[in-house]
Amino acid sequence: MSVLLRLNSAILAILSAGAALAGGVTTEPAIDPLAKYRSNDEIHGLYEVRAEAKDFLDRQNARDGTDWRPIDPDIRIVVDRCAVPLKSKWTMFESRKSVLVSCSRTVTSAPQRRWELPVSIGSDRLQRNYDIHEAALKFIRSEPTRGGANQEAGYPSASTMVYKCAVPLKAEWRNKDVELSVDIICAKTIDSAPMPRSWRVRVPVT
């Protein structure tokens, strides 16, 4: 019986080692979800749309020392093939900072002559414009006597790029502008942020 037990143990050990080895050999790299959504004669691929957004963000990152990256567009979106090079710029989409990729002239067979497609972005070190908006909204709702109880906070400009704050955000009314607005203030950014280690961002109030 002891011989059989030892034999079974040895066989199991060999099988386990083989499975582990096979697992290591057959491990495949992560597949790009947009790899199959490339351009053809009629459709401009989301793969190329994301690449255009990435090129734009790479230039912005090199200039500003940021780390923006594109987030994959919704694969259900279909746009016509562009006949000219794509262009990109900053925009706000669904209250979030994004890149707007646009085509000013599609191929002659396309039903639409132009299109625009917002591409969401992400960053590990930058403060979201949504967070700044929420801080402004919380502030004006705590002081309804300043200009009316029905005031709403807007969003920073689409080009706003500030590093994450390491301390709670503060707010104060901006008195220099003709239009009512709020300053959102960060007294200390995260340690990985370059100088200056603080910032102030204007948020319009409507």
Q: How many domains does the chain have?
A: 2
Shared domain check, 200 and 140: yes
Q: What is the pLDDT of residue 191?
A: 82
pTM over 0.85: no
Predicted confidence at residue 178, as pLDDT, reads 62
Q: Is 114 in the same domain as 173? A: no
Bridge pairing between strands 87-93 and 69-70: unpaired
Q: Would you say 184 and 135 are in contact if contact means Cβ atoms under 8 Å apart?
A: yes
* Residue that finishes a domain, picked among 122, 144, 168: 122
pLDDT confidence of residue 92: 85
Domain range spanning residue 65?
Answer: 46-122
* Mean pLDDT of each 10-residue bin along the chain, 206 residues long: 39 43 53 89 95 96 88 91 96 86 93 93 87 93 70 85 92 79 94 83 92
pLDDT at residue number 5? 36
Is 33 contained in some domain? no
| pLDDT of 3 | 37
**Residue 107: strand, helix, or coil:** coil
Could you tell me if residue 39 is inside a domain?
no
